[in-house]
């Protein structure tokens, strides 16, 4: 498999995964989002809004689309 195929397969595997500030490819968790809130305070409201746990909509991450 050449480099282009590896990159293509990686990209296709991640279609539908939301972008979270920082682009570290780390799994989206409430702890990860809290760290991004500290790193990007200007975007804190948006980061929190789209996290069901941090926004108070859910008690845990089960069923979260992110």
| Residue 29 belongs to domain spanning | 3-49
Domain membership flag for residue 62: no
Domain count of the fold of the chain: 1
pTM, rounded to two decimals = 0.59
SS3 content of the chain, % helix, strand, coil (to 5): 45, 0, 55
Q: Yes or no: say if 62 and 50 are a contact pair by the CB < 8 Å rule.
A: no
- The pLDDT assigned to 17 comes to 63
Domain membership flag for residue 19: yes
Domain membership flag for residue 54: no
Domain membership flag for residue 39: yes
Find the radius of gyration of the CA atoms of the chain: 14
Residue of 22 and 1 predicted with greater confidence: 1
Domain membership flag for residue 29: yes
28-53: pLDDT as tens digits: 889 988 998 999 899 899 888 888 89
Domain membership flag for residue 56: no
- Residue 23: pLDDT band by 50, 70, 90 thresholds? low
- The pLDDT assigned to 65 comes to 72
């Amino acid at each position: 498999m050449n480099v282009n195929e590896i990159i293509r397969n990686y990209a296709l595997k991640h279609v539908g995964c939301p972008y979270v500030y920082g682009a570290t490819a780390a799994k989206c968790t409430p702890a990860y989002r809290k760290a991004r809130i500290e790193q990007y305070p200007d975007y804190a409201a948006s980061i929190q809004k789209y996290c069901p746990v941090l926004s108070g909509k859910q008690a845990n991450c089960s069923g979260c689309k992110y």
